[in-house]
Amino acid sequence: MLESVARAHLAKLNRLAALETADGITAEDGRASDRVMGWARRLQASQGIAARVGPAERGILTTNGLTEEEIEEVDWTLDLLRKSSRGTFPRQKLIALLQGCGAPQGQGDIQQAKRIYYRG
């Protein structure tokens, strides 16, 4: 499932990169945006949809080379993702991922699929 999600997201990133290039966005700006979103999703994978950047997360992000501006963008992105999802994740998308892998679709399986999705 992780591989499937990662492949699908890579294809999406490639499409976005092509659009960004057409709009005059530099490759470096695109990479910075991807880095921010990647860290936001990593935090969601470990903390759930309510993830926030607290002191511990700030330390991890700093250790991994993010600037103060990027850390603020991660926090802002988490807030935006939380608001846009209204605190939930599309259950049908998770069930489809589980079915595609031949996995059971119990509540625990769906929760695990959500964490895997965010990691991917």
Q: Answer yes or no: pTM beyond 0.85.
A: no
Token pair of 35, please?
């880095």
Let me know: does 24 contact 42? Beta carbons within 8 Å. no
pLDDT digits (tens, 9 = 90+) for 15-40: 877 776 777 877 778 788 889 988 99
**66 in helix, strand or coil?**
coil
pLDDT of residue 120: 67
pLDDT, mean of residues 57-85: 93
8 Å CB contact between 60 and 83: no
* Backbone φ, ψ for residue 26 (5° rounding): -75, 160
Extents of the domains making up the chain: 2-88
Residue closest to 33 by CA, chosen among 47, 46, 21? 21
